[in-house]
């Protein structure tokens, strides 16, 4: 039957409510199922308490709980970064990274197995896309990390959708996952602490603005001319800078909120004063903030990170243009914590690429 493979974690609360109502169960028991999934964090249907026997029987017959298994994990030498390679039901693996900062914990979540965007310095981009993740597989990463933190008396605050994959290439499933994560009767994570990172999928940015999605938006830029950007981010050929900047300005005006730009600093390739001036001019007048981060080297790319003096000089130029910036702290360099690196190191085998959706 169609429901035989239903993962309950795939459904936001209204959809779960509708499904259970269609099976003949009252709101009282529908709320109990949701509470079991996200307040109690059960990992098996048998552990869900307070259900009528007939509801338990129906759930076992028609649904299951997708729980991600740990395929491999590693810990940074400072104990602050925990990288997980999680195994999906079809043996695909995805990366999830737990990072601890002073007073908060952040999880970096994947939205696809692999990535079709092909950014040349990114280990995930080098392996291509295998498939989209379901909402339950995206949420499952957060649940996995939440269990780890709870066992240590800690709680999750921040989520960054910038692990493996392009979130706006998997828009419907990513947004369904966000709806689940922020639901006030579930995990109740604050939307202002959820950041979605994109390489600049223009239709997705416009849709985020029009749908008033409450997440923070970060755009991976890395180049301030079409030629320089396309050399690093092939998606730049699909959506040129003028089109991308128009979409970003539309987003800022529509949402009345700041937009973040990410700039990976690569020695000699995009970290000079000239590069910074061009970037400052590109962002002039926009409510924007630039996160700069020295490159995390990968096996498949020969570039190296910018030296500290170049990083400071780059920031000084941005400041002269009135563009604020922050040097983002690199984490887990000793454990292949960059996107896709652990998977590549553990598996060392290519994945097929799929075409990019328009």
Binding residues for S-adenosyl-L-methionine: 165-166, 197, 220-222, 296
List the structure tokens of 242: 């003028």
Q: State the maximum Cα–Cα separation within the chain, in Å, rounded to a whole number.
A: 69
Per the annotation, the verdict on 347 as an active-site residue is: no
Q: Which of 108, 248, 262, 339 is catalytic?
A: 339
3-state secondary structure of 56: helix
CB-CB contact of 41 with 143 (8 Å): yes
Which of the 8 DSSP states describes residue 248?
A: H
Phi, psi of 29 (to 5 degrees): -80, -30
Q: What is the DSSP string of 58-123?
A: HHHHHEE---PEEEEEEE-TTS-EEEEEEE-TTS-EEEEEEEEETTEEEEE--SEEE-SS--TT-H
The backbone torsions φ and ψ at residue 293, rounded to the nearest 5 degrees and listed phi first, read -145, 125
| Known binding positions for [4Fe-4S] cluster | 115, 119, 122
Q: Token digits for 329? A: 């702290």
339 is catalytic: yes
Cβ-Cβ contacts under 8 Å for 265 (sequence gap 6 or more): 271, 292, 293, 294, 295, 305, 306, 310, 311, 314
* Distance, CA of 137 to CA of 150 (rounded, Å): 20
Q: Which of 61, 95, 137, 243 is catalytic?
A: 95
DSSP line for 158-206:
EEEE-SSS-GGGGHHHHHHHHHHHH-TTTT---GGGEEEEES--HHHHH
For 168, other C-beta atoms within 10 Å of its C-beta total 24
> Do the Cβ atoms of 320 and 102 come closer than 8 Å?
no
* Residues forming the active site: 95, 339
């Amino acid at each position: 039957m169609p429901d035989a493979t239903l993962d309950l974690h795939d459904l936001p609360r209204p959809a779960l409510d509708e499904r259970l109502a269609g099976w003949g169960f009252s709101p009282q028991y529908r709320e109990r199922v949701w509470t079991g999934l996200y307040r109690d964090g059960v990992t098996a249907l048998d552990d869900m308490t307070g259900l009528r026997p007939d509801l338990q029987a129906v759930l076992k017959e028609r649904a299951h709980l997708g729980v991600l298994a740990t395929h491999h994990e590693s810990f940074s030498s400072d104990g602050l970064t925990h990288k997980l390679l999680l195994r999906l039901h079809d043996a695909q693996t995805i990366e999830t990274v737990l990072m601890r900062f002073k007073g908060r914990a952040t999880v970096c979540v994947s939205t696809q197995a692999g990535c079709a965007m092909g950014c040349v310095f990114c280990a995930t981009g080098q392996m291509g896309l295998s498939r989209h993740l379901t909402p339950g597989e995206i949420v499952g990463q957060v649940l996995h990390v939440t269990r780890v933190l709870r066992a240590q008396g800690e709680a999750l605050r921040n989520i960054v959708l910038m692990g493996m994959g392009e979130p706006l290439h998997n828009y419907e499933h990513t947004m369904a996952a966000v709806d689940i994560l922020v639901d006030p009767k579930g995990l109740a994570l604050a939307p202002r602490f959820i950041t979605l990172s994109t390489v600049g999928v223009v239709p997705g940015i416009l849709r985020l603005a029009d749908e008033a999605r409450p997440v923070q938006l970060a755009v991976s830029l890395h180049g301030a001319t079409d030629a320089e950007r396309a050399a690093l981010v092939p998606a730049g050929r699909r959506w040129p800078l003028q089109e991308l900047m128009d979409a970003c300005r539309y987003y800022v005006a529509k949402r009345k909120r700041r937009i973040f730009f990410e700039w990976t600093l690569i020695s000699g390739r995009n970290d000079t004063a000239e590069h910074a001036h061009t970037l400052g001019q590109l962002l002039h007048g926009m409510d924007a903030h630039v996160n700069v981060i020295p490159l995390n080297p990968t096996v498949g790319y020969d570039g190296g990170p910018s030296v500290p003096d170049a990083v400071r000089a780059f920031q000084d130029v941005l400041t002269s243009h009135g563009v604020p910036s922050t040097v983002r702290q690199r984490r887990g360099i000793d454990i292949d914590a960059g996107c896709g690196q652990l998977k590549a190191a553990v598996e060392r085998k290519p994945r097929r690429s799929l075409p990019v959706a328009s």
